[in-house]
């Protein structure tokens, strides 16, 4: 158990809908990362937050957004869902994001999103 | 469990043998590398890491080798066990670009009893 929790574990929805995925980082970790894992694209970095602020952006679609709350949990919002958004979505956390540190990232168990 | 990738390269290993998993990374400026293990239905699990100022690092039953000249990373697992069956990913990070990880495509390891 990495200490990172994600809910829900599974989510089935229809095209055009909007969903929210939730992540709680490990106790003491200030940085949260979101990754998408699909069969054809592998593990892709989406976005990073540190202590409530966005720190880095990767291959995240405009239909997707995220935020990190004062209690450090994070939510990934996916809207106008398409069939191709079906994937595993992982959250990871680390202590700090600064370039002075080599930050081991701990991954949660993921949320499997199926868009029908 | 869910399949991580249907078309991953697969390494079949006899239980008790050593495994070697290879990874070519893309960015010569990357300075931190990690190997993750992902079992079916679970998130990636940290195995071992190495910084770019090293060429070898050993853990418990695992060794990571880094060859910066050819941008190659390998993971050696000694005395492979059935519990080692999983998909293994290498990831690279360039600290100056933040902490986002760039993952390789993964290798599936199947341990035969």
Interval B50-106: pLDDT, tens: 999 999 999 999 999 999 999 999 999 999 999 999 999 999 987 777 677 889 889
Least CB-CB distance to A2: which of B43, B97, B98? Answer: B43
Q: What is the pLDDT of residue B26?
A: 86
Percent helix, strand and coil across chain A, each to the nearest 5: 5, 50, 45
Q: Which of A4, A37, A40 to mutate to test the interface with B (most CBs of B within 10 A)?
A: A37
Measured in degrees and rounded to the nearest 5, phi and psi for residue B67 equal -120, 100
Confidence of residue B2 (pLDDT cuts 50, 70, 90): very low
Q: Is the pLDDT of residue A40 over 80?
A: no
Q: Determine the Cα–Cα distance for residues A55 and A32; give it in Å rounded to an integer.
A: 10
**Taking CB atoms and an 8 Å limit, are B42 and A110 in contact across chains?**
yes
Q: Determine the Cα–Cα distance for residues A37 and A57; give it in Å rounded to an integer.
A: 16
Q: Is the pLDDT of residue A99 over 70?
A: no
Handedness of CA B82, A105, B106, B92 (dihedral sign): negative
Window B:59-88, CB contacts with A under 8 Å: none
**Taking CB atoms and an 8 Å limit, are B99 and A43 in contact across chains?**
no
Cβ atoms within 10 Å of A55's Cβ, excluding its own: 18
Interval B27-38: pLDDT, tens: 888 989 999 999
Contacts of B6 in chain A (CB under 8 A): 39
Q: Determine the Cα–Cα distance for residues B88 and B100; give it in Å rounded to an integer.
A: 18
Handedness of CA B106, A26, A47, B68 (dihedral sign): negative
Contacts of A105 in chain B (CB under 8 A): 34, 46, 99, 101
- Over residues A29-38, mean pLDDT: 94
Q: How far apart are the first and last CA of chain A?
A: 31
Half-sphere CA count of A88, side-chain side, radius 13 A:
26
Confidence of residue B21 (pLDDT cuts 50, 70, 90): very high
Contacts of A31 in chain B (CB under 8 A): 99
Confidence of residue B4 (pLDDT cuts 50, 70, 90): very low
**Taking CB atoms and an 8 Å limit, are A97 and B32 in contact across chains?**
no
Q: Determine the Cα–Cα distance for residues B3 and A39; give it in Å rounded to an integer.
A: 8
């Amino acid at each position: 158990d990495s200490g990172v929790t994600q809910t829900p574990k599974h989510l089935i929805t229809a095209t055009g809908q909007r969903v929210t995925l939730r992540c709680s980082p490990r106790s003491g970790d200030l940085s949260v990362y979101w990754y998408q894992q699909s069969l054809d694209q592998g593990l892709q970095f989406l976005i990073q937050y540190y202590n409530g602020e966005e720190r880095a952006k990767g291959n995240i679609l405009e239909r997707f957004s995220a935020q990190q709350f004062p209690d450090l949990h994070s939510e990934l919002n996916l809207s106008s869902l398409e069939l191709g958004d079906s994937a595993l979505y992982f959250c990871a956390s680390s202590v700090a994001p600064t370039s002075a540190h080599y930050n081991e990232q701990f991954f949660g168990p993921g949320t499997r999103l199926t868009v029908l | 469990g869910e399949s991580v990738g249907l078309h991953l390269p697969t390494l079949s290993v006899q239980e008790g043998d050593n495994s070697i998993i290879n990874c070519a990374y893309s960015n010569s400026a990357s300075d931190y590398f990690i190997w993750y293990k992902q079992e079916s239905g679970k998130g990636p699990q940290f195995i071992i890491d190495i910084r770019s100022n090293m060429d070898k690092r050993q853990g418990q039953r695992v060794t990571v080798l880094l060859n910066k000249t050819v941008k190659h990373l390998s993971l050696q697992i000694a005395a492979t066990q059935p519990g080692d069956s999983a998909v293994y990913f290498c990831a690279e990070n360039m600290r100056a670009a933040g902490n986002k990880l760039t993952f390789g495509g993964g290798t599936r390891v199947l341990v035969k009893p």
